[in-house]
Amino acid sequence: MNPIKEYITKHKNWSKQLQQLRMLLLKTPLEETIKWGSPVYTINNKNVIGLGAFKNHCALWFFKGSLLQKNQSLLINAQEGKTKNLRQIRFKAGDQIPEKEIKAYILEAIAIEQTGVKSQTSLKTTITIPPELQAAFDNNTSLKTAFEKLSIGKKREYCQYISEAKRASTKTSRLEKITPMILALKGLHDKYRKS
């Protein structure tokens, strides 16, 4: 079975809305693929739009949603403080898809990507290394060297993973878990990324 159709079938509560959104997207120059386990629509290998099904809603994700100027009223930032650019339009059970309105969002998102416009706001490029991770670096220079070879995004994921733990024991167990991953130059979420 086609992986996109399989994804839609798997999310029975949202299959009608996801299928309707998919049909809208397939009428555009976007290419359909699966990334991070969900349908993603690209142009020139750049992510433009994603489809997602969640417990209480399904959503249309815009990777550069913060740049949409003409169409904004339906957009929300679902990860306030974690992302500067992603925006989504949510649909709950029983919601009708306003196809004409959604198509305008899709076409504007495609136009933004085709012009090559970069995001006006970017995530900070500096990271704060938590004390527990810094102590591990002080005791293991190989770990520090490997960490420095990682991308800023992967470094940030590891630092957040440690920092977000509340208890010292959790921070310690997380540090034990990620040490071999860092030494192998892998990111925390690499298993979810499509190569």
Query: Around Cβ 129, how many Cβ atoms within 10 Å?
Result: 17
> Would you place residue 74 in the very low, low, confident or very high pLDDT band (cuts 50, 70, 90)?
confident
What's the token pair of residue 27?
Answer: 């009428």
**Which residues 6+ apart lie within 8 Å of 88 measured at CB?**
52, 59, 60, 61, 62, 65, 75, 76, 78
pLDDT at residue 13, as a whole number? 86
| Contact assessment for residue 43 and residue 115, using Cβ atoms and an 8 Å cutoff | no
The pLDDT tens digits of the residues spanning 7-40 come to 888 888 888 999 999 999 999 999 999 888 899 9
Mean local confidence (pLDDT), 81-107: 84
CA 75/CA 61 separation, integer angstroms: 9
Q: Please tell me the pTM assigned to this model.
A: 0.59
Residue 72 has pLDDT above 60, yes or no: yes
State pLDDT tens for residues 136-163. 999 999 999 999 998 888 888 899 899 8
Please enumerate in sequence order all residues whose Cβ is within 8 A of that of 184, keeping only pairs 6 or more positions apart, or say none: 146
Domains of the chain listed by start with CATH number? 3-115 (3.90.1150.200), 131-192 (no CATH)
Longest dimension (CA), the chain: 59
Amino acid at 27: K
Looking at residue 68, its pLDDT comes to 79
pLDDT value of position 195: 44
69-73's contacts with Cβ under 8 Å and 24+ in sequence apart are: 69/108, 70/104, 70/108, 71/101, 71/104, 71/105, 71/108
Q: What is the pLDDT of residues 95-129, one digit of tens each?
A: 888 999 999 989 898 988 888 777 654 445 567 89
